[in-house]
Amino acid sequence: MAGAAAGCRVRRDGTCAGRGFTCPACRAAAKGAAYDAVEDARPAASGGRRRARDPARAGLAVRRVSAVLAQRQLSLAAAAVLGIVVALALAARDNPVPKAAPRLPSPAVSDLSGWYRAIAGVRSRPLSGHASGCGTLLSPKALGVDHPVLPCGTKLFIEYRGKTVLTTVVDRGPFAPGREFEVTPALADLLGFSGVQTIRWSFARAG
């Protein structure tokens, strides 16, 4: 030890009278000098640079941040899609699409003579109790016509004195001579004729 610390017992030559750093002041001074020496040695040992950060820890931190941001973006996107669906549902409820009214088929008018004329009479045969020639069961309120050759289910327009009715071939007939059609009693009441009358008829077509 070159000299004594302040507060030590000093010899005549200026050194501390204590041995083995028994003097508290000398011990404190020695500890401070050792700490300063260690701090001065650290920059030299590392080349004057700071210790680099661990790349693995840095990458883990970046991935955690990215995962949090991705989850937040997905939540925002889901909320936006839900908002669009709700808006479309409310718009559809407030503005329903109007349904097109069903259109009746129009008469298939002949290019040569227009509607066809025919002799028709009211059917007198019973309607219920057995299947018709078209394989269907007819009720007393059935609206239809009988014809010997037109396909069953054919839709026709029947016109009598300015009143036109859309009807269907429902049975075979007539069996009375001089008649081309027989109409059911309900259809005759709707047209307003009885007995045997001259009617006009035409095929019905879609459009």
Q: What are the sequence ranges of the domains in the chain? A: 1-52, 54-99, 106-205
Q: What is the pLDDT of residues 78-103, one digit of tens each?
A: 888 888 888 887 877 776 666 665 56
Q: What is the pLDDT of residues 70-82, one digit of tens each?
A: 788 888 888 888 8
Paired residues of 166 in beta bridges: 157
Prior bond to 185 cis, omega within 30?
A: no
CATH 2.40.40.10 correct for 106-205: yes
Q: What is the mean pLDDT of residues 118-141?
A: 90
Sequence-separated contacts (24+) of 10-14 with Cβ below 8 Å: none
Asked whether the CA dihedral 116, 121, 125, 127 is positive or negative, the reply is: positive
C-alpha distances in Å from residue 121, one per residue of 137, 193, 201: 21, 9, 14
pLDDT value of residue 203: 92
Q: What is the pLDDT of residues 44-66, one digit of tens each?
A: 555 555 555 566 666 666 677 67
Asked whether the CA dihedral 92, 93, 96, 97 is positive or negative, the reply is: positive
Give pTM, 2 decimals: 0.47
pLDDT value of residue 44: 53
pLDDT value of residue 112: 37
pLDDT value of residue 21: 47
What's the mean pLDDT when you consider all of the chain?
76
Q: What span, in angstroms and rounded, lies between the C-alpha atoms of 180 and 201?
A: 11
Amino acid at position 67, single letter: A
Q: 3-class DSSP state for residue 162?
A: coil
Among all chains, which residue has been given the structure tokens 């404190």? Answer: 28
- Ranking 7-11, 65-69, 122-126, 190-194 by mean pLDDT, the lowest is 7-11
C-alpha distances in Å from residue 25, one per residue of 2, 35, 80, 130: 14, 16, 74, 134
